[in-house]
Structure 1
Amino acid sequence: MCGHMFVVTGGPGSGKSTLIDALHERGFASMPEAGRAIIRDQVQIGGTALPWADKAMFAELMLGWELRSWHEASALENPVFMDRGVPDVVGYLTLSGLRVPAHVEAAAKTYRYNRIVFIAPYWETIFGQDAERRQDHEEAEATGRVMADTYARFGYQLVELSKVTVEERVTFVLDLLNAG
């Protein structure tokens, strides 16, 4: 386990990336979200590894991305904030009603993060759709629940982020890290 690697997870449009960007602006290392980058690349090249085309292949690309991010972050010494992690791939497959392959389950058990995982709940006020985020609010809420269940199943301690300003979220996260 890499105790300096902190996952921020939850449903789409819950403020995860905004929080991580704010932490990055304060000098903390971060790893970007896989999903949006994969969608952009697949659309650009006419690929089918997309959540609305080939969900299983999309999950495999996300797994590869998350493993690369894990290795890159594990080489660092100071805290790193991860925009999702390997267990998110398990959650995505579960949410999609697809079988979780043994190698994906093994990856989630092998590539560990700090036991504290921050979860951003569905937040109607800031939720929005765009070309890469096509989920509706029901799927966004369901994603948050599945990610919470998935991380708990893998033994992580979930800490829910309040629906407050970005600066208040940053202060909350940093206070929790300093207390630990």
Structure 2
Amino acid sequence: MNRFVVISGCSGGGKSTLLGELARRGHTIVEEPGRRIVEQELACRGSALPWVDGIAFAHRAIDVALTDRAAVEHLSGWVFFDRSAIDAVVALDHLSEGRGRYAGTLPRYHDTVFLTPPWPEIYVNDRERRHGFDDAVAEYQRLLVAYPAHGYRVSVLARMTVGKRADAILTALAQSASVC
């Protein structure tokens, strides 16, 4: 059973808050590559930013996600990722003609990917998230198609409290572990 669980979906859909709850409950989490890249690029006045050079940003996000995945191989228990390399590949495919470039080369995660749907009531822009809600919804729609195309089951998380979302994920994972 693959212990590496992806939480992805709509920007501003509550992923980071949910991951914070899972960390509070003692689970290992891996922060979103994109946010870390944006912070670094803004700090050093770089250009690998989604609103400046989206292709360079997507390539960096793939590299960071692959490095993150390799860095936690030795850990035991559930490891939760705020997005994965697949998210970055989807962004790259959307921006360029590189479709299929990474087919079959990405490491596997748990068979079920949990997606946070668009949630306009909690969506906010900030220093690192400058795109609008419509762009976030379009990204979500691409991920909703891409994850099954990469061989994953998608579980869309209901709009509920962060505690209930964490409970739902942990229950689903416990059930999938007992089936194996």
TM-score of Structure 1 vs Structure 2, range by shorter chain:
over 0.9
User: Match for residue 140 of structure 2?
Assistant: 144
Query: Does 2:178 match 1:179?
Result: no
Query: Does 2:127 match 1:170?
Result: no
Q: Which one-letter code corresponds to 1:117 in the other structure?
A: V
User: Match for residue 99 of structure 1?
Assistant: 97
Deviation of residue 137 (structure 1)?
A: 1.0
Does structure 1 retain, via aligned residues, the 8 Å contact 2:59–2:92? no
User: Match for residue 124 of structure 1?
Assistant: 120
CA distance in 2, matches of 1:101, 1:61: 17
Does structure 2 retain, via aligned residues, the 8 Å contact 1:94–1:146? no
CA distance in 2, matches of 1:163, 1:146: 20
The 1:68–1:123 alpha-carbon spacing in structure 2 relative to 1, beyond 3 Å, is same
Query: Does 2:48 match 1:49?
Result: yes
Please, which runs of 5 or more residues in structure 1 have no aligned partner? none
Deviation of residue 30 (structure 1)?
A: 0.8
The 1:20–1:38 alpha-carbon spacing in structure 2 relative to 1, beyond 3 Å, is same
Does structure 2 retain, via aligned residues, the 8 Å contact 1:90–1:105? no
Identity among equivalent positions (%) equals 31
User: Match for residue 79 of structure 1?
Assistant: 78
Query: Does 2:58 match 1:62?
Result: no
Does structure 2 retain, via aligned residues, the 8 Å contact 1:89–1:104? no
The 1:45–1:101 alpha-carbon spacing in structure 2 relative to 1, beyond 3 Å, is farther
Question: Please, what TM-score do these two structures have when normalized by structure 2?
Answer: 0.93
User: Match for residue 8 of structure 1?
Assistant: 7
User: Match for residue 159 of structure 1?
Assistant: 155
RMSD over equivalenced CA pairs, Å? 1.4
Does structure 1 retain, via aligned residues, the 8 Å contact 2:65–2:84? yes
Q: Which one-letter code corresponds to 1:107 in the other structure?
A: T
**4+ residue runs over 6 A deviation:** none
The 1:162–1:60 alpha-carbon spacing in structure 2 relative to 1, beyond 3 Å, is same
CA distance in 2, matches of 1:107, 1:87: 11
Residue deviations 1:116-153 (CA, integer Å, cap 9, x gap): 00000010111010111011111111111111111110
Deviation of residue 103 (structure 1)?
A: 4.6
Question: Please, what TM-score do these two structures have when normalized by structure 1?
Answer: 0.93
Secondary structure, in 3 states, of the residue corresponding to 2:102?
A: helix
